[in-house]
Amino acid sequence: MSDLGDLSYFLGMEFVKTSKGLFLHQKKYVEDVLKRFHMRNCNPAITPRETGLKLSKNTNEELVDSTLYKQIIGSL
C-alpha cells in the first residue's frame, strides 16, 4: 500500500478539506450530466409547483422521447 495523499475526487464526488471540516459535493458530476444531455443552457424551475395547478394537454407539440427521459432521471 502507498499513501496517495488527500482524497479529492472519488466516484463522482469532490472532497474539499478546510479548517472547518471535510465537505463533499457533486458539482463536476452534475456539469457532466448536463453536458451529456445538452442541457447546459436550460432554465431552472422551482419545484414543487403550486397546489391546484391544472395542466392541459398541448396537442401541437411533439411527443417527448421516454427513453431519453429515463436516461436523464437514471443519471440522478
pLDDT tens digits, 31-73: 999 999 999 998 888 777 778 888 888 777 777 788 988 998 9
**Is 56 within the bounds of a domain?**
no
Question: Per DSSP, what are the bridge partners of residue 17?
Answer: 22
**Count: domains in the chain:** 1
pTM of the model: 0.59
pLDDT at 70: 93
In sequence order, the 6+-apart residues with CB closer than 8 A to the CB of 8 are 14, 15, 16
User: What is the end-to-end Cα distance of the chain in Å, rounded?
Assistant: 34
Domain hosting residue 29, numbered range: 1-41+64-76
Q: Are strands 21-25 and 9-10 parallel, antiparallel or unpaired?
A: unpaired
C-alpha grid cell, residue 6 = 488527500
**Is 4 within the bounds of a domain?**
yes
